[in-house]
Amino acid sequence: MSNIKKGVIGILTGGGDVPGLNPAIRAVTIRALREGWQVIGFRRGWGGLVDTVRDKNADNSKNFQYLTEEIVNRAGRTGGTFLHTSRTNPSSMRRSNVPSHLADKFSAEKNDLTPEVLKNLEFLGVDYLIPIGGDDTLSYGVRMYKEGVKVIAIPKTMDNDVPGTDYCIGFSTCVTRTIALTNSLRTIAGSHERILVLEVFGRYAGFTAMLPTMAGAANRCVIPEYKFKIEHLTELLIKDRQMNPSNYSVLLISEGAMYEGGEMVFKDLSTDAFGHAKLGGIGDLVSAEIKELSAQFNKGKPVDVVNQKLGYMVRGGDPDAIDSIVPMAFGNLALDLILKGIHGRLVVLKNGRYDNVPLDVVTATKKVVNVAQFYDTERYRPRYENFEMKPLFIMTSEL
């Protein structure tokens, strides 16, 4: 370990938690400390950077902490993020969320606190900043880079929808949990001869519904990228049920899936800091309609539905093998770039190889399922063909 301090690295985790965040923090910290760098962990994503008080005598323990090997080793094998997380967007802070020590300075209904974030980074002497998050968290990372901050980003989201990379931390564990939970719940559907409808994460991208279905967890899936016809979906599920010796069938439905002629289903009219309304309820609506429509495809007899939202169950607990290995590699990739003096990059996994790409890819495009290539729009399920030279998770490459 070097005795000469080479600089300061800041790291934060934003957006929804996923298994694999703590291994990524650990990887960055262990390597950085041994290379002679100091590491600051910001709490609650961009929130800790907004709330920091620029006074050496102030108590900022709730806003950031200096990381040690002991701290990160203890957390590194666990799920979630010990730094905590939030959906804070410093470029558009509601007046009610502006920290009290800045309330006199920022009193508009929406406020851009970016100047304060930049001053706080300077106050702490941060040389490089490593945000770990999805497209919302990383979009503000792009803003930071454009403001002159040396940013290296790590992609995280169980939806696996950050552009530029085939893989995002959290996705494998989400798929693993979805398969396991579906297989647990199918015994109930089979015992009662019902249709099992499971709502899974996926606002704009249907990867978390597609991959478990492809792996055999469900008969059908509906995804945000293709609007479905409820009558046709019901007919398919009834046929699946009739063909199953145990007399049940299974549907995975993305939270962002939409009826033909309809829009996304939201819980209420409230939005988060990035303007996203909270999704939820498409599984309930579809379950009720399937039960109502089922009789016309089942000789006049309605079929009951088991309806469950998997929700946080797929993002809780420890990371699986892939979400232990990939974060380790991503963290070390970030350090490799820092040691070379490179910044403005997103570390990625492309075509089975670790790499890095320009950071602004995060805001330049969207990553969704290629419907024409991977989704059978008549059968509401993945296509099982042309696997040669595809990446590990088949449909996650943008090529």
Active site residue 159: yes
Residue 171 in tokens: 């996705």
Structure tokens at 314: 């797929």
Whether the CB-CB separation of 207 and 396 falls below 8 Å is answered with yes
Do the Cβ atoms of 182 and 232 come closer than 8 Å?
no
Helix (H, G, I), strand (E, B) or coil at 214: helix
**Residue 77 CB neighbours (<10 A):** 12
Evaluate whether 2 touches 33 at the Cβ level (below 8 Å): no
The Cα–Cα gap between 195 and 173 comes to 25
| Short-list 201, 246, 248, 197, CA closest to 380 | 197
Catalytic residue among 17, 51, 135, 159: 159
Check: CB of residue 179 under 8 Å from CB of residue 217. Answer: yes
CA angle 214, 219, 220 (to 5 degrees): 85
Q: 187 and 257 in contact (C-beta within 8 Å)? A: no
Catalytic residue set: 159
